[in-house]
Structure 1
Amino acid sequence: MTKRVDLFALSALPAVLYLLVIYAVPLLMLLTRSVTGAEGLTLAPYTAFLSDAFNWQIIANTLRVAGLVTLTCLVIGYPVAFALSWARGLAQAVLLLSIILPLSVGVVVKAFAWQIVLKRDGVVTAALMATGLFEEPPRLLFTETGLVLGAANVFLPFMILPIYSVAKLVDPRLTEAGATLGATPWKRFARITWPLTLPGVISGIAFTFSLSVSMYVIPSLLIGDRFQTLATLTGRSFLLMRNEALGSATAVLLLALAVAVVVGSTWFARRLGRAA
């Protein structure tokens, strides 16, 4: 048994070394740079950043957009995940392919495609005008609404797939039993379906939020530099302003937000597991 465990540990060693070299070491260097100044260790980059009210607006922009993107993906992805779990045969294969295949397309290509879709004479604007609710074409490109729509399209599979992995395990006879006991459709959903799929929802929220909170290319192409997030500010600090201290500090703050979401969701999922 010990030899078998040792073999498993040795087989994991290349992956661990790869992660250490590619991810852990650069992150450690970034953290070190953010607390190092001319006189040694210092928290000046963080205090300078957090003491500016405009930078708090940047943090608010980051969290608001990430939250809206995550909520949009959840509203769209939850029923899609159930449709995928209920489908069979060719229908399920087509649905899975339509969800997974867009992941092979680069983010830059998707962002440019959304520039075409969201422009004044684009498909979305034409559909909105067809409803008769607008007297003139609404402006979507280079707006926060357009950014949320474009980002939700990119990150939607990361919400659907975790929920689908749980939804396919839910026994449909449970809701049928609830119906025979007189429970309304809403009560069956709130008391049976939603609690059983909550672990998948939490995983999907963690994936989607951590990705959308750190997106750089999509905001740069869909809304421009006038709308700053932590990720775009980090990029500008390194590439344009050549301010490595500011860029390192914002990158560490961004990493802390993403890690907090993942750790918090894991803790919450474990609590749900123990409660169940």
Structure 2
Amino acid sequence: MNIPPRKRKKATSTSSDLQPVANPQDFSHQDNQDVVTIDVPAVEVPELTPEEQSDRLHLERKVERAFFEAGKALAELRDRRLYRSTHRTFEEYCKDRFGYNRSRSYQLIDAAIVVDNLTECPQIVDILPTAEGQIRPLTKLEPQQQQEVWQQAVEEAGSKVPTGKIVKDVVQRIMERTQVPNTYQLGEVCQILAKDNPELRGKGGCWAIVTQVNDFSCTVRTWDGELTVGLKHLKSYEYLAEDCQQMQEICNRISRVYSGGLEESVQKFLESLGKLKRAYLTGLEEKVLRVLESETSR
């Protein structure tokens, strides 16, 4: 008996299966409904109590005076030689114990001396330095000048603690105004003082011959070149005219050998001659220089 094939049922959808096409305006309306406004209550920051205010001021003062306290301590360690049980010199002690080189140690010591001086001036006792660099330009001035410069720098900073640049600018203007006339003469032999001038690094202690006299500086010639140096970084040897002439000849001879491009050891020897504190060469120095001259002339 043949069974007739079943008819395939048509797919039907219930109302739950069908979703109406959404109107774009409906989405916009829905998005607006999703925007929620949250009210955040303001958090009231309580004021410092009188005790907290006192603690804050005390701690701020400790931070501000940190460099001052360090300088005072270093000065006492140096003056009482409290390093002597472990180190031969104060400089070695500071390097090993604190990581300070000689320059940094004495910067802090000098700064502490300046602060002590500033605190003696009633007009500026309320605005004192907070960092060593702010008063570094003052260390070479007289105590009264230090106070005057600091007062002026505070005024220029709007009655606030001035930066080191402001202090340096005030010092420079005062120095230019009170500058002693340049009395150096052409051909005069001077010693270069490189302290506090990084541009003269490596030149400290070298002798130099004045080749040009400027208002506040001199152009000088050393054994290995020429440079311009401020008056405060020069010190005359006060040689007689014949000594100056002899140093000029020595300078010319050293320069010729130096320009010959000999070995580094030779240059070290020439550098030692460039720091002589006398207007002549010893017999041995003269012999060595002649040998080097003969080598460069070949």
Q: TM-score, normalised by structure 1?
A: 0.20
Q: Which structure's CA Rg is the greater one?
A: 2
Q: Which has the higher contact order (CA 8 A, sep 6+)?
A: 1
Q: TM-score, normalised by structure 2?
A: 0.19
Quick check: which one's helix share is greater?
1
